[in-house]
Amino acid sequence: MPTALVLGASRGLGLEFTRQYLAEGWTVFATHRSEDDRIRLRDLGANTLRLDVMQVADVAGIAWQLEGERLDVAVMNAGVYGPRTSSPRQPPGDADFDTVMRTNVLAAMRIVPVVAPLLAPARGTLAFVSSRMGSIAEAGAAYGMLYRVSKAAVNMVAKLAHVEHAPLGVRVLSLHPGWVRTDMGGPNADVAVADSIAGLRRVIADTGAFPGGCFYDYRGQSLAW
Ligand SMILES: NC(=O)c1ccc[n+]([C@@H]2O[C@H](COP(=O)([O-])OP(=O)(O)OC[C@H]3O[C@@H](n4cnc5c(N)ncnc54)[C@H](OP(=O)(O)O)[C@@H]3O)[C@@H](O)[C@H]2O)c1
């Protein structure tokens, strides 16, 4: 059976990726920060790894714990939104900037060299859970500026990871899950978690219809960068 690594698996979209891959019999490595989440993920049947993506030592720890594993899919899902109020009229402060950019962008940069070599033998897929809010072409509102900027940067990390690792057989995708009912998306979001992840998993699985180096939503629609 195939193997997936889900980075940021404690709740929301990452937890649902873990549930759905486990339900299909996959081996899943699932990362968490808290002990409660480790136990919950272990009880679901996942192999658990402790990872705070802001901590460089944790990222190094993932590298040695996964040494020798052959991954079919790695999902870089961990992310934060930051201040809802940030906009061109109200720029973020230093602390919010550091948290959002380190969690969403620097972590993505640091994860690529760790997981790409583990994906290459199986010609696997590295999927970044980005957001349509990171599309420069589609930007039509200014709220959530810091989050938008961070996801635009994630898209560039994904594109460059594609440029670097596609020749080694690694497929890199940037994905938009829809506006989903999670802690981040809130109760008024229009997509259920299970539907979002079922859709994203279909995109990840279909290597023919969805080539690497591109940006897709959970329904398989191509998005403009
Ligand atoms: N929900 C939406 O509508 C939506 C739309 C577009 C894109 N997205 C993206 O989808 C991804 C998941 O979102 P979600 O809605 O599931 O959000 P969520 O419910 O807030 O969950 C966020 C996840 O990221 C993890 N995380 C945050 N900071 C971390 C860190 N420093 N180290 C390790 N893990 C960390 C959290 O772990 P803890 O439990 O330990 O905090 C949690 O597992 C994010 O990248 C988000 O930007 C979501």
Task: State the average pLDDT for the chain.
Answer: 97
- The domain tally of the chain equals 1
Q: Is the CB of 177 under 6 A from ligand 1?
A: yes
* Structural domain boundaries enclosing 144: 3-217
Q: Is residue 190 part of a domain?
A: yes
pLDDT of residue 211: 98
The answer to whether 92 touches 75, Cβ cutoff 8 Å, is no
Q: Is the CB of 179 under 6 A from ligand 1?
A: yes
Residue nearest to atom 5 of ligand 1 (CA): 179
Q: Is residue 82 part of a domain?
A: yes
pLDDT per position as a tens digit, 80-125: 999 999 999 999 999 999 999 999 999 999 999 999 999 999 999 9
Q: Please report, for the domain that includes residue 117, its CATH number.
A: 3.40.50.720
Q: Is the CB of 82 under 6 A from ligand 1?
A: no
Ligand 1 atom with least separation from CA of 52: 32
pLDDT per position as a tens digit, 129-183: 999 999 999 999 999 999 999 999 999 999 999 999 999 999 999 999 999 999 9
Q: Is residue 223 part of a domain?
A: no
How many angstroms separate the CA atoms of 150 and 28, rounded? 27
Q: Is the CB of 49 under 6 A from ligand 1?
A: no
pLDDT of residue 206: 98
Q: Is residue 86 part of a domain?
A: yes
Give the sheet arrangement for strand 47-50, strand by strand. Answer: 47-50, 27-32, 3-7, 73-76, 125-129, 171-176, 214-217
pLDDT of residue 113: 97
Percent with pLDDT over 90 in the chain: 100
Stretch 40-55: mean pLDDT: 98
pLDDT of residue 13: 98
Q: Is residue 158 part of a domain?
A: yes
How many angstroms separate the CA atoms of 15 and 136, rounded? 29
* Band (126; pLDDT cuts 50, 70, 90): very high
Q: Is residue 225 part of a domain?
A: no
Stretch 36-41: mean pLDDT: 98
pLDDT of residue 192: 98
pLDDT of residue 83: 94
Q: Is residue 174 part of a domain?
A: yes
